[in-house]
C-alpha cells in the first residue's frame, strides 16, 4: 500500500510508520518536522495541515491514480476544522482514511462504560478554530472524516497507550521513579483493574484493518480487567531490578492530601463510585476490536521494552508533562505522605 501519515514520528505515529515499513508499504509522512526525526525509509514532506497552501502542495504529489495514496493515517488531528480541511483535500486522492480518535469522544465517558454504539459528544465537523481542547473536539474530528470519506473511514477510539517512545511519560515516569529505589508511594489498591495498550499493538491492528479493506469504528484498547495497577508497578520493579518497596496508600488519604489525578501519580484517578471502582476510566468495551483481530502483548513485555528504550535514550533534560503540568509527585511530598504526615 501507499500510505500517507499525517503527524509526527514520536510515539504512535512512529509505531505506525515502523510497522508499515516492515510490511513493505510505501510511506509518506506529512508534518512540520518539529516533534521528532524522520524515520529512515519513509518519504518526508514538510507542511502544516492547517495551511491550504501546504495541503495543495501535498496533493500535487498525487495528481492521478498512480500517485494516489491507498491509506491516510491521521494520528495528529485534534481540532475539527483542521481535520475537515485535510479530509476535504485528500478525499479524491486516498482510498481510505484511518483516524485515531479517543474514548474521550463518547458523551458517556468516563461516567459509564462505553462501546462502539455509545453516543458521541455533540460537536459538529465544522467547529471553528480556537476552541479549547476538550472531550467534544474528538467527536467533531470524527465527523469531519466520516462526512468526507463515508464508508472508506476507519475510526479507532483509542484507550491509554504505553510503550517505547512514549512522549507523555506516564509509564516512563513510573519506571524511572521505581528505578531510584526505596519506598515508593503506590496509589490506591493493587487489585485495581486497568486497561493499557502498547502503541505497537495499536498500530498492528490499524494496519491489519486497512489491509483487509475494513471500515467503521473500533474501541481499541486492552480488554477490561486484563491487568491491574499492582501488576503494572510490580513489572516496573522487575524490569528495573530495583530494590523499591511499594507502599500502597489508600485513595481517601491521597484525596485528603490533594494529590492531582493523573499528573502527580500517573494513571491514578481520584473519582470513584460507591464500590471503590474508578468512574468509567477503565470501562471501555473493546470486544469488537478483539473479535476483529486486536491482540495485546503481555504487560511485562511492554514494560521491559520501555525500560530498555529509556536506558538507550538516556536521561531527559525536561520533565514529562501532563498537559502543561509536570508529571510526577514531588519527592518531599511523597515522603510526607508515606510517613503519614498531613
User: What would the pLDDT profile of 258-281 be if each residue is shown by its tens digit?
Assistant: 998 889 999 998 666 666 555 557
Which part of the chain has CATH 3.40.50.720?
A: 2-158
What is the gyration radius of the CA atoms in the chain, in angstroms?
21
pLDDT bucket at 282, cuts 50 / 70 / 90? confident
Which range is least confidently modeled, 143-147, 208-212, 251-255? 251-255
Taking CA 139 as the corner, what is the angle to CA 158 and CA 68, rounded to the nearest 5 degrees? 75
pLDDT for res 9? 85
Name the β-bridge partners of 89: none
pLDDT interval class at 322 (50, 70, 90): confident
Q: What is the pLDDT of residue 242?
A: 97
Q: What are the b/e assignments for 290-328, b being 16+ CB within 10 Å?
A: bebebebeebeebbbbbbeebeeeeeeeeebebeeeebb
Rounded to an integer, the average pLDDT of 75-94 is 94
pLDDT at position 279 is 57
Instruction: Give me the mean pLDDT over the 64-90 stretch.
Output: 91
pTM of the model: 0.94
Residue 104 has pLDDT above 80, yes or no: yes
* All residues at 6 or more sequence positions from 210 whose CB lies less than 8 Å from its CB, including other chains: 1, 70, 71, 96, 98, 154
Q: Is the dihedral of CA 255, 260, 266, 268 positive or negative?
A: positive
The Cα–Cα gap between 50 and 76 comes to: 12
The residues, ordered by sequence, that sit 6+ positions from 116 with a Cβ below 8 Å of its Cβ are 157, 216, 217, 218, 219, 288
At 133 the pLDDT is 52
Q: Which grid cell sits at 247?
A: 507502599
User: Are the C-beta atoms of residues 79 and 137 closer than 8 Å to each other?
Assistant: yes
- How would residue 35 be classed by pLDDT, with cut points 50, 70 and 90? confident
- Fold (topology level) of 2-158: Rossmann fold (3.40.50)
Q: What is the pLDDT of residue 342?
A: 66
Provide the 10 A C-beta neighbour count for residue 61: 15
> What backbone torsions phi and psi does residue 156 show, to the nearest 5 degrees?
-110, 110
Provide the CB-side half-sphere exposure for 138 (13 A, CA): 21
Which of 37-51, 117-131, 152-166, 242-256 is the least confident region? Answer: 117-131
Q: How far is CA 88 from the centre of its chain?
A: 25
pLDDT at residue 65 is higher than 90 = no
> How far is 44 from 105, CA to CA, in rounded Å?
30
Render pLDDT for 134-190 as a digit per residue (tens, 0 to 9): 668 999 999 999 999 999 999 999 999 999 999 999 999 999 999 999 999 999 889
pLDDT at 317: 85
The predicted pLDDT at position 110 comes to 83
Q: Do residues 108 and 119 lie in contact, with contact meaning Cβ atoms separated by under 8 Å?
A: yes
Output the nine-digit C-alpha cell for 34: 518539529
Amino acid at each position: 500500500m501507499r500510505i500517507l501519515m499525517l503527524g509526527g514520528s514520536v510515539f504512535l505515529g512512529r509505531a505506525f510508520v515502523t510497522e508499515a515499513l516492515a510490511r513493505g508499504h510505501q510511506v509518506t509522512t506529512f508534518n512540520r518536522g518539529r516533534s521528532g526525526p524522520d524515520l529512515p525509509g519513509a518519504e518526508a514532506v514538510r507542511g502544516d495541515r492547517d495551511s491550504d497552501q501546504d495541503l495543495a502542495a501535498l496533493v500535487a504529489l498525487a495528481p492521478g491514480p498512480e500517485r494516489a495514496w491507498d491509506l491516510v493515517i491521521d494520528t495528529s488531528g485534534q481540532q475539527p476544522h483542521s481535520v475537515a480541511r485535510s479530509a476535504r483535500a485528500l478525499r479524491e486522492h486516498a482510498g481510505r482514511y484511518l483516524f485515531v480518535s479517543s474514548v474521550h469522544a463518547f458523551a458517556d465517558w468516563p461516567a459509564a462504560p462505553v462501546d462502539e454504539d455509545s453516543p458521541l459528544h455533540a460537536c459538529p465537523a465544522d467547529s471553528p478554530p480556537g476552541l479549547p481542547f476538550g472531550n467534544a473536539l474528538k467527536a467533531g474530528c470524527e465527523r469531519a472524516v466520516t462526512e468526507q470519506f463515508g464508508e472508506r473511514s476507519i475510526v479507532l477510539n483509542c484507550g491509554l497507550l504505553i510503550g517505547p517512545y512514549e512522549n507523555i511519560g506516564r509509564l516512563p515516569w513510573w519506571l524511572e521513579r521505581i528505578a531510584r529505589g526505596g519506598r515508593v508511594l503506590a496509589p490506591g489498591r493493587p487489585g485495581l483493574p486497568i486497561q493499557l495498550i502498547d502503541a505497537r499493538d495499536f498500530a498492528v491492528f490499524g494496519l491489519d484493518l486497512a489491509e483487509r479493506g475494513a471500515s467503521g469504528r473500533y474501541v481499541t484498547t486492552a480488554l477490561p480487567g486484563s491487568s491491574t495497577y499492582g501488576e503494572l508497578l510490580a513489572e516496573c520493579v522487575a524490569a528495573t531490578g530495583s530494590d523499591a518497596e511499594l507502599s500502597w496508600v489508600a485513595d481517601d488519604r491521597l484525596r485528603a492530601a490533594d494529590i492531582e489525578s493523573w499528573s502527580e501519580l500517573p494513571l491514578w484517578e481520584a473519582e470513584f463510585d460507591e464500590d471503590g471502582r474508578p468512574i468509567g476510566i477503565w470501562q471501555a468495551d473493546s470486544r469488537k476490536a478483539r473479535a476483529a483481530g486486536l491482540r495485546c502483548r503481555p504487560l511485562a513485555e511492554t514494560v521491559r521494552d520501555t525500560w530498555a528504550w529509556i536506558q538507550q535514550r538516556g536521561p531527559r533534560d525536561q520533565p514529562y508533562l501532563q498537559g502543561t503540568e509536570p508529571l510526577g509527585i514531588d519527592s518531599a511530598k511523597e515522603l510526607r505522605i508515606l510517613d503519614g504526615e498531613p
